[in-house]
Amino acid sequence: MKTDSLILCLQLAATGQLVLAILSLFLGRLLGWREAIANMPLLVREVFLIHGWFISITLGIFGVLTWRFAPEMAAGAHEFLRWFAGGIALFWGIRCVMQWTHYSAEHWRGMPDRTAIHWIVFVSYAAFTATYLKAALG
């Protein structure tokens, strides 16, 4: 992949992660989980909400730093940026695996809308993984 193409892919990944960071803050509301979350034991509810915030913060950091340093990341300009890209690739790669090994197919199989969302999410995360892996390996 040429450097200009990789820069564009990194910018798209950055944008996607920033969108996910914002959406993650409203996940309970978007997915209709308000009642289920309210019925959780207090500690479980607090951990769930705090983890949601920290995932949003993490994705925000990934997105902002990727956007700011996309040209340098694409060029392999600094060892730190290669390691950073490798860490993000690992993050998204593990998330791809978990999409298939952790979530039950009951949540989407036989439901066209949910199946489409499942595949869009998986392909997006795989694209993030490939993009950051390319930046990490040069």
Task: Give mean pLDDT, residues 39-48.
Answer: 96
Task: Report pLDDT for 2.
Answer: 79
pTM across the whole model: 0.92
Q: In this predicted model, what pLDDT tens digit does every residue of 80-100 receive, in sequence order?
A: 999 999 999 999 999 999 999
Task: Give mean pLDDT, residues 21-47.
Answer: 93
Tell me the C-alpha to C-alpha distance, in Å, between residue 101 and each of 31, 96, 97, 106, 126: 21, 9, 6, 13, 15
Q: In this predicted model, what pLDDT tens digit does every residue of 105-138 receive, in sequence order?
A: 898 899 999 899 999 999 999 999 999 999 999 8
Domain boundaries, the chain: 3-137
DSSP 103: S
Task: Report pLDDT for 55.
Answer: 96
